[in-house]
Amino acid sequence: MSKTFLFNALREAIDEEMQKDSSVFILGEDVGHYGGSYKVTKDLHIKYGDIRILDTPIAENSFMGMAIGSAMTGLRPIVEGMNMSFLLLAFNQISNNAGMLRYTSGGNFNIPLVIRGPGGVGRQLGAEHSQRLEAYFQAIPGLKIVACSTPYNSKGLLKSAIRDNNPVILFEHVLLYNLKGDIPDVDYYVPLDKAELVKCGQDVTIVTYSRMRYHVMQAVDLLVKDGFDPEVIDLISLKPIDIKSIVSSLEKTHRLIIVEECMKTGGIAAEIIAQINDNYFNLLDSPIIRLSSLDIPTPYNGNLERATIIHPEQIVDSVRMLLS
């Protein structure tokens, strides 16, 4: 095992898969000589050249379309969004082409495409740079969606996504790139459809993903000192949702809290609640609690920004209320 930063774990994943497969290449704004906005592709152009590490114009719809076309012809493109919010400019290509072509071609084309980049609420990045796009893309048929949260799962998920024959969106949180953690010194892959059991417990199931994993664990540290025993699940896979892991936990705890940075209306939590209420309502001893961001554009002001998202003290209060 060796310790590395999350951004470097992603870089290692790209490097390793490009070494193994000459059809893998990466494209996006400033991914080449600049090394990417968060240094995920730093110096890779020296090793692989300016075609496989391809700098593009500021034209998201154009280079997304080019990536999808190249995937149809047998290449395995990785698109880096300088900020995932900018990929809304390519929403048509992602939804009407990437998600649909396998189906509308009668299975004649696979789209082995990875779309990845920074997203989430940063620190005073303003509304257009602090969007949470999980819910936007969750509704698109044909996509797989994952959200990394540690250097270990970041590298393993990206390697699995590059090898998958379907379009995969990998959400990386802008505030987690400098997170340091252990990764194995051997080759490994993380499945794209499985949640991670972060902590076993008996009292309540807390489901979360991405940066909120760390807010939850801060809350859990406080709760354990008070004698509570929460179970924590990191979703990782946002589409498909690993509902079996949540249900397995609910069979023990019978109580569920969902913590997300996504907006409350139509978010990931909303989908989980719908599935649980439709199929596993009998497992619940109390209503599900949903802790989500406010349904407003993220303010630039630091205090207002903080007020829009969930923090550990709110999670602690919700657990205490639920178990009182």
pLDDT in tens, 115-134: 999 999 988 888 888 888 99
Active site residue 80: no
Active site residue 313: no
Q: What is the pTM of this model?
A: 0.95
Confidence of residue 255 (pLDDT cuts 50, 70, 90): very high
Cα 312 to Cα 174, 260, 318, distances in angstroms: 19, 12, 10
Query: Which is catalytic among the residues 45, 129, 173, 215?
Result: 129
Query: Which is catalytic among the residues 12, 17, 29, 60?
Result: 60
196-323: same fold as 2-183? yes
Indicate the angle between helix axes 268-279 and 243-253, nearest 10 degrees: 60
For 240, the token pair is 């498909």
What is the overall mean pLDDT for the chain?
A: 96
Hey, what CATH topology would domain 2-183 get? Rossmann fold (3.40.50)
User: What would the mean pLDDT of 78-100 be, rounded to a whole number?
Assistant: 94
pLDDT for the residue 11: 98
For the chain, give the percent of residues with pLDDT over 90.
93
Residue 25 makes CB contacts below 8 A (sequence gap 6+) with 18, 48, 51, 52, 53, 54, 70, 75, 76, 77, 78
Amino acid at residue number 96: N
Q: Does the structure show a pLDDT above 90 at 237?
A: yes
For the chain, give the percent of residues with pLDDT over 70.
100
Domain boundaries, the chain: 2-183, 196-323
* CA–CA distance, 207 with 230 (Å, rounded to integer): 10
User: What would the mean pLDDT of 238-261 be, rounded to a whole number?
Assistant: 98
pLDDT for the residue 130: 87
CATH code for the structural domain at 196-323: 3.40.50.920
Confidence of residue 54 (pLDDT cuts 50, 70, 90): very high
pLDDT for the residue 186: 94
